[in-house]
Structure 1
Amino acid sequence: MRSRLTGFFVAYNVRDGPLKSGLRLGYFSGYPLNGPSAIPPMALTDILIRNAKPGKKPQKLFDGGGLFLYVTPSGGKLWRLKYRFGGKERLLSLGAYPAISLKDARERRDEARKLLAHDVDPGEHRKAQKAATLARAADSFEVIAREWFAKFAPTWAEGHSSKIIQRLERDVFPWLGARPIADITAPELLTVLRRIEGRGALDTALRAKQNCGQVFRYAVASGRAERDPSGDLRGALAPVKHENFAAIVDPAQLAELLRAIDGFKGTFVVKCALRLAPMLFVRPGELRTAEWTAFDLEKAEWRYLVSKTKTEHLVPLSAQAVAILRELRALTGQWRHVFPGREPRKPMSSAAINAALRRLGYDTRTEITGHGFRATARTILHEELHFKPEVIEHQLAHKVPDALGTAYNRTKFLNERRAMMQRWADYLDELKVDAKLVPMVNAR
């Protein structure tokens, strides 16, 4: 009888006005926590909870087993669980209504009761879970990937590093970023890579796999993962057929291009870069970001760090190259970069050389690119001018081990390279004068 009367007052007061801080509702607060999990006869309902109105003081609507809804004067409805552990009364927050429904709150209460049955404090258990979650978040794939990137990006070329972080941000982080790195499996990684393959970006998928492998190995080395799952995906991705950069290796066709460059109607800065590109045959990024402090025009030398290997490289300058640079220095010598862009404090755009070649009427996908001048020089220097491959490769700043096992050395074959660079510049001048004097070679 007492239960019905208490339930009557609960319902009546909820419908007709704010509950008083009365104790008739407090009857259920004494419901034994360690007793059966059956719901009391007049437990809370969703209707009662939705219709509960705030009063001047906080209200408590008990459901049984220590669970109650705490109604604040401002209208908030918060689930709380009162329990005893170690002889002391404790209170546990279970969330807010309606985000946590009555059913959810009861399930959370029952989970807490199970912990108590095993002598585990639900409050301390939650703290431990939260700490573990934070620790796992700190070891998420994205956190470790960005840590790896920050550590190694300063040793990479700017263009290379920007491509890596953009690839990770676009294709990997949205799906794996929040996952604890130690929990990521090979099939899970493959699903992400398959998504990249699905849009036809086979090369991007392969590079994403390589970058992920680097991140996993960094995590292993720093004690936050046990293995690199990307190694299990060997052969799982579609093979990529790499195409060489378009290049002209026919002397007659090269002569036509050189004459077209001399007639270029664009800016003087871009025209100088175009004239130097085949003459110096360095990587396009190294040419466009060249700085005046790296040049010694009296010694006819250009020293810089190779963008791919971060090793020092020396380019002997021909008399023709020095003449072009002296003329250009009168225009851009006050700036840091030899080839400044529209914003003088920044270098020329990475697309400038190829855009200029297209303006001259050349297809940069099938005929010639700024990078293709390297293949042009490599082929003609060996096949037409008969310079030794090892001399050419050193001038290209490629790592070519010799009989002693030493790799690229910036000063190796320096005298031969000086002679080769001058002969190459002279040869280019001869081509422009009369291409018929030069034997033809088959284009590759």
Structure 2
Amino acid sequence: MTLTNTTCKNAKPRKSKYRLFDSSGLYLEIMPNGSKYWRLKYRYLGKEKVLALGVYPLITLAEAREGRDRARKLLAVDTDPSQAKREKRRQAISKAANTFEVVAREWHENQKGKWTPKHAVNVTRRLEVDVFPYIGSRPISEIDPPELLNSVLRKIEKRGALDVVARVKQICGQIFRYGIATGKCSRDPSADLRGALKTGKTQHFAALDIKEMPAFLSALEKNDARLFARTRRAIRLLMLTFTRTTELIHAAKDEFDLESRMWEIPGQRMKMGKPHLVPLSQQAVQIIKEQMEETGHINTPYLFPGQVKPGIPMSNNTILFGIGRMGYKGRMTGHGFRALAMSTIKEKLGYRHEVVDRQLAHAPRSKVDRAYDRAQFLDERKVMMQKWADYLDAVANGKVVIGRFGKVA
């Protein structure tokens, strides 16, 4: 005889636990303390087993029968209901543990050894500001393309920060791919968002043409803008070495070997994470000596310390604003010296692209390029850097340069 709701409700506890059977192995077990538990007795691979289906009355008789029927369907396809229940619980625990934020921080920890400290901080900040507040607590395996698009990327896009949204999408894609590799999710939803986001026009750093350099050099020399000598030296040295602005302003005094005329930038300060050699022209060495003479009495590791706070390096904006005060706002930037050097050294001094490119420390374009070390073309680069400095002197002195200057065979 099958159970009824009244029978279940009126079942009283006894000194020992006892069972009230329903059908197909389902029964209600009543404990001496009055608790009532639904159980299902079944056989799997010749062994008798018991599956817990919940507590009465939280689980009603009808719901217990539904649980029994689901278990029997699993048995029909040769699946152990108890094992299936344990696997479901394991997956639930895994989802709860492997939220997007947990996996992202694990990925970050795994990657940060390959990054500069500044880049590692920037990635963390970007995630904490634009991603974690919206999907950080979500199981990474449950995040689909629409959720990533609408909950995260569209919010950034609406701010007009199209460069940021592209970087965040890229970071999220790397996190999802790490999740796939470590078994925490099965797909990368960012891969399905191609074409779903607005893209901005590529904006290049403002840079002067070599024809405009005589006037620029004259303005720098006359100094009607009344720039500090330190700022003018930084602009000159940036022009002569065409490093990235951050690489120059964070340069430590002990990175320079003036006797060998070489500046070695540590890998942790380079965009590509690898040490970089910068041959120094005689003109560059003279600027560095003047700068060290000015700041030699200051307790600071930096070649270009801050004017007010020497314990920190010169601000990136010091150079940018200095160029602006010279009358070149929007027309030239510190980074613009890199573009100027690349085009002019190739066109006027006749050097091959790969030589200048190596000096610019650009990302290698192929595995073959990556195999080359930091000293590639170094002897040629030493000569090139001196010729570049001499060429700029010739421009500053008003010499007219026609065709190639000091052509390299």
Instruction: Give the alignment's TM-score, normalised by structure 2.
Output: 0.73
> Of residues 294, 309, 326 in structure 1, which corresponds to 2:272?
309
Structure 1 residues 292 and 136: alpha-carbon distance in aligned structure 2, compared to 1, 3 A threshold: same
Return 5+ residue gaps in structure 1 as ranges. Answer: 1-33, 41-63, 67-83, 93-107, 121-126
1:371 partner letter: H
1:385 aligns with 349
Aligned counterpart, 1:87: 31
- Check conservation: 1:250, 1:440, Cα contact below 8 A: no
Q: 2:407 is matched with which residue?
A: none
Amino acid in structure 2 at the alignment position of 1:352: T
1:244 to 204, 209, 233: 204
Paired residue secondary structure (1:431): helix
Q: C-alpha separation between the residues in 2 aligned to 1:403 and 1:163?
A: 27
Shift of 1:171: 1.9
Q: Which one-letter code corresponds to 1:390 in the other structure? A: E
In 2, distance between residues paired with 1:381 and 1:162?
A: 36
Where 2:33 maps in the other structure, the secondary structure is strand
Q: 1:347 aligns with which of 307, 313, 329?
A: 313
Matched with 1:423 is 387
CA RMSD in angstroms, aligned pairs only:
3.5
5 Å-filtered alignment, 1:286-305, equals 286-304=247-265, 305=267
| Residue equivalent to 2:144 | 185
CA distance in 2, matches of 1:307, 1:201: 25
Is the aligned partner of 1:336 residue 2:301? Answer: yes
User: Which letter does structure 2 place at the counterpart of 1:395?
Assistant: Q
For the structure 1 residues 246 and 87, does the alpha-carbon distance in structure 2 shift closer, same or farther, using more than 3 Å as the test? same
**SS of 2:316 mapped into structure 1:** coil
- Name the SS of the counterpart of 1:89 in structure 2: coil
Cα distance in 1 for partners of 2:302, 2:361 equals 22
Q: Percent identity?
A: 40
Q: CA deviation at 1:280?
A: 0.5
> Which residue number corresponds to residue 168 of structure 2?
208
Task: Give the aligned partner of residue 395 of structure 1.
Answer: 359
CA distance, structure 1, for counterparts of residue 102 and residue 59 of structure 2: 32
* Cα distance per residue 1:146-183 (max 9 Å; x no partner): 22223323432344334333322222222111101111
Secondary structure of the 1:394 match is helix
TM-score by length of 1: 0.68
Q: Deviation at 1:230?
A: 1.2
Matched with 2:157 is 197
| CA–CA distance in structure 1, aligned partners of residues 92 and 195 of structure 2 | 35
Residues 345 and 351, structure 2, Cα contact 8 Å, conserved in 1: yes
The counterpart of 1:321, out of the listed 284, 291, 295, is: 284
1:276-323 deviation per Cα after TM superposition (whole angstroms, max 9, x unaligned)? 111100111111111122111110000112622112211110011111
Asked whether the 8 Å contact 1:156–1:307 carries over to 2, the reply is no
2:193 partner amino acid: L
Task: Tell me, yes or no, if structure 1 residue 372 matches structure 2 residue 332.
Answer: no
Superposition pairs for residues 226-245 of structure 1, below 5 Å? Answer: 226-245=186-205
Seen in structure 2, the aligned counterparts of structure 1 residues 128 and 427 have a Cα distance that, compared at 3 Å, is: same
Give the SS at the match of 2:149. Answer: helix
Give yes or no for contact 1:398–1:408 (8 Å, CA) kept in 2. Answer: no
Matching residue of 1:51: none
Cα deviation for residue 398 of structure 1 reads 2.4
- Aligned mate of 1:170, from 111, 129, 132: 129
- How far is 1:226 from its partner? 1.6
Is contact 2:281-2:389 (8 Å) kept?
yes
Q: Aligned partner of 1:142: which letter?
A: E
Q: Could you list the per-position Cα deviations for residues 94-123 of structure 1 after superposition, in whole angstroms to 9, with x for gaps in the alignment?
A: xxxxxxxxxxxxxx9634777777699xxx
Q: Output the CA distance in 2 between the equivalents of 1:152 and 1:301.
A: 31
Residue 186 of structure 2 aligns to a residue whose secondary structure is coil
Q: Aligned equivalents of 1:206 and 1:157: distance in 2?
A: 21
- Deviates most, 372-381 or 238-247: 238-247
In structure 1, the residue matched to 2:49 is none
| Aligned mates of 1:302, 1:242 — CA distance in 2 | 32
Rounded Cα–Cα distance in structure 2 between residues aligned with 1:129 and 1:189: 25
Q: Aligned partners of 1:309, 1:136: CA distance in 2, in Å?
A: 35
Is contact 2:214-2:395 (8 Å) kept?
yes
Relative to structure 1, the CA distance from residue 170 to residue 114 in structure 2 (aligned partners, 3 Å threshold; closer, same or farther) is: farther
1:143 CA drift (Å)? 1.8
In structure 2, relative to structure 1, the CA distance for the partners of 1:129 and 1:85 (3 Å cut) is farther
Distance 1:402 1:222 in 2: 28
User: In 2 relative to 1, CA 367–132 (structure 1 residues): closer, same or farther, beyond 3 Å?
Assistant: same
Gap change, CA 1:111 and 1:175, over 3 Å in 2: farther
Aligned mates of 2:338, 2:355 — CA distance in 1: 14
Alignment of 1:14-163 (within 5 A): 36=5, 87-89=31-33, 110-111=58-59, 135-163=94-122
SS class of match (1:217): helix
Which letter does structure 2 place at the counterpart of 1:295?
Answer: F
Q: How far is the alpha carbon of 1:202 from its aligned partner?
A: 2.0
Say if 1:404 and 1:229 are closer, same or farther in 2 by CA, change over 3 A. closer
CA gap of 1:377–1:131, structure 2 versus 1, over 3 A, is same
Matches of residues 352-363 of structure 1 in structure 2 within 5 Å?
Answer: 352-363=318-329
Question: In 1, distance between residues paired with 2:200 and 2:11?
Answer: 64
Q: Note the alpha carbon deviations across 1:249-289, whole angstroms, 9 max, x for none.
A: 233x1122222223253333322211111110011111111
Instruction: Assess, with a 3 A threshold, how the Cα gap between structure 1 residues 129 and 410 changes in structure 2: closer, same or farther.
Output: closer
| Residues 11 and 30 in structure 2, CA contact (< 8 A), matched pair in contact too | no
Give the conservation status (yes or no) of the 8 Å contact 1:140–1:177: yes
Indicate how the Cα distance of structure 1 residues 184 and 90 shifts in structure 2: closer, same or farther if over 3 A, else same: farther
1:360 & 1:440 partners in 2: Cα distance?
29
